[in-house]
Amino acid sequence: MDPVVLSVVGGGAADVETHNAEARHRFGRLYFAVGMHHNNDIASLLNWLDAQQDEMLRLVRRWAQINSGSHNLAGLAQLIADVQGEFESLGGQITLIDLPPAQSIDSAGNVVHQPLGQAIRIVKRPDAPRRVLLNIHLDTVYGPEHPFQQVQRLDDRTLRGPGVADAKGGLVVMLFALRALEQSNLAPQPGWEILLNPDEEIGSPGSGPLLTATAGRHRIALCFEPSLPDGSLVGARKGSGNFTLVVRGRAAHAGRDFHLGRSAIVAVAEFITRLHALSRQLPEGVTINCGRIEGGGAVNVVPDLAIGRFNVRVTEPAQVPVVERSLRELANELNRRDGIRAELHGGMHAPPKTLDPRSLALLEMIRDCGRELNLDLKWQPSGGASDGNRLAAAGLAVVDTMGPRGGSLHSDGEFLLIDTLAERAKLTLLTLVQLARSDAFDLLW
């Protein structure tokens, strides 16, 4: 990319002339002006970020080679130590935070508690008038037992590996954008708080309350999930919830006493078919997927235990109670049967993220920053949920795809487009600078 010379000028700065007017975009009372020459600070920071491309790639490779599956506590601890070492250069105050264990239902239908890794908080300039919450997760969907472990350069542009895009690339983008910011003498500088959590890929069961509490100190959040392969950002996101139905019946000999048995498998099967029928009457965009069933044993025994595991997606907050009520009613129906006991566990861990006016204003501001980098940024909705859902539900303006471009996430084809590391670090830098200076953004603040 051609180096662009950028200036950030205060409102009413009449000394900025009208040449290059076409390339100039107003941000309230402040704007970047392409081609201006009287302030090279930002231009030199952007050049510095371009020069960090190899260093950024090196760090993505190193972090992707540390297995940090959500349940791999040793790997997460190793990653946290390495990440902490790199982020120390920013000069913020670092705190490691223990999380409560995640609650889940095992194959015997019992509630079990699984320990989680730690979260990292880093705070800089907490008293600055303009502060931004920066968040991304440390974990990946690939545990140590997963066959996909290798990081591999596919070609000049592409790195394939577990977590290279989701979200270790985003972690590197965040780090380098802040390194550029912190080495600058731009003023005013925004305050920032980083929250890195170890359990996003399993629905943030331990860090969810921490995210919500942290959100209470902020108005704006940037999350570093990967942007889409074509560079688009994500606007609205569906909400997501996981539910587990545990049904206990009565065991009996399938030959001698079949009539005395009460089949838990039949009950779960009926629950699923009823739910499937019902979901066709739910509002458009609401889906309920039974992803796993467990139960039974020897085929000559009427099974006394069966478990169904469900994922629910919704598009509007008002759909959440409708879906929850439907699930509960169907479970209650099973409980009215002779010899059958049903328990429903779980809930909506990620509320739907609608594109409210403040988040839209933030997206538009980031798009305008992108124009200064010759990026034509668009956004589109996604069915996938992220921690951005939770932060938006807490009232923040959120853009959650500030990470590099990548795709085939959660599969053994996961890839990162390498040259977008610098691209998105520059975009993040411009966004932070703009947020710190834009006192005209009443809507955002």
Q: Where along the sequence are the contacts to Zn ion (CB under 5 A)?
A: 166-167, 225
Of the pair 140, 434, the CB lying nearest Zn ion is at 140
Residue 92 exposed, middle or buried by CB count within 10 Å (0-12, 13-18, 19+): buried
Q: How far is CA 101 from the centre of its chain?
A: 20
Start-to-end CA distance of the chain, whole Å, equals 33
**Residues 425, 173 contacting (CB under 8 angstroms):** yes
Nearest approach, Cβ of 410 to Zn ion (angstroms)? 9
Nearest approach, Cβ of 396 to Zn ion (angstroms)? 18
Of the pair 167, 363, the CB lying nearest Zn ion is at 167
Instruction: Scan for tokens 């080679």, then name that residue.
Output: 65
Report cis status (omega within 30 of 0) of the bond before 167. yes
**Residues 404, 423 contacting (CB under 8 angstroms):** yes
Of the pair 375, 385, the CB lying nearest Zn ion is at 385
Among residues 438, 426, 435, the alpha carbon closest in space to that of 44 is found at: 426
Nearest approach, Cβ of 167 to Zn ion (angstroms)? 4
DSSP 184-218: S--SSPPEEEEEEES-GGGT-TTTHHHHHHHHTT-
State which residue has the least CB distance to Zn ion. 166
Nearest approach, Cβ of 200 to Zn ion (angstroms)? 6
Nearest approach, Cβ of 202 to Zn ion (angstroms)? 11
Nearest approach, Cβ of 135 to Zn ion (angstroms)? 11
Of the pair 167, 247, the CB lying nearest Zn ion is at 167
Nearest approach, Cβ of 263 to Zn ion (angstroms)? 40
**Residues 214, 195 contacting (CB under 8 angstroms):** yes
DSSP 366-433: HHHHHHTTT----EEEES---HHHHHHHTT-EEE-B-EEEEESTTSTT-EEETTHHHHHHHHHHHHHH
Of the pair 27, 142, the CB lying nearest Zn ion is at 142
Nearest approach, Cβ of 286 to Zn ion (angstroms)? 23
Helices 41-51 and 420-437: angle between axes, nearest 10 degrees: 150
* Cα separation, 408 vs 229, whole angstroms: 9
Of the pair 167, 290, the CB lying nearest Zn ion is at 167
State the pairing for strand pair 220-223/397-399: parallel
Other C-beta atoms lying within 10 Å of the C-beta of residue 40: 13
Of the pair 59, 234, the CB lying nearest Zn ion is at 234
Whether the CA torsion 219, 225, 228, 230 is positive or negative: it is positive
Nearest approach, Cβ of 401 to Zn ion (angstroms)? 10
Other C-beta atoms lying within 10 Å of the C-beta of residue 284: 6
Nearest approach, Cβ of 386 to Zn ion (angstroms)? 6
Of the pair 225, 414, the CB lying nearest Zn ion is at 225
Nearest approach, Cβ of 227 to Zn ion (angstroms)? 12
Of the pair 24, 424, the CB lying nearest Zn ion is at 424
* Cα separation, 4 vs 8, whole angstroms: 13
Nearest approach, Cβ of 129 to Zn ion (angstroms)? 31
Of the pair 199, 225, the CB lying nearest Zn ion is at 225
> Which pair of structure tokens corresponds to residue 38?
């009287």
Other C-beta atoms lying within 10 Å of the C-beta of residue 120: 19
The DSSP element (H or E) to which 170 belongs, if any, is helix 170-183
**Residues 319, 283 contacting (CB under 8 angstroms):** yes
Of the pair 199, 324, the CB lying nearest Zn ion is at 199
Of the pair 370, 403, the CB lying nearest Zn ion is at 403
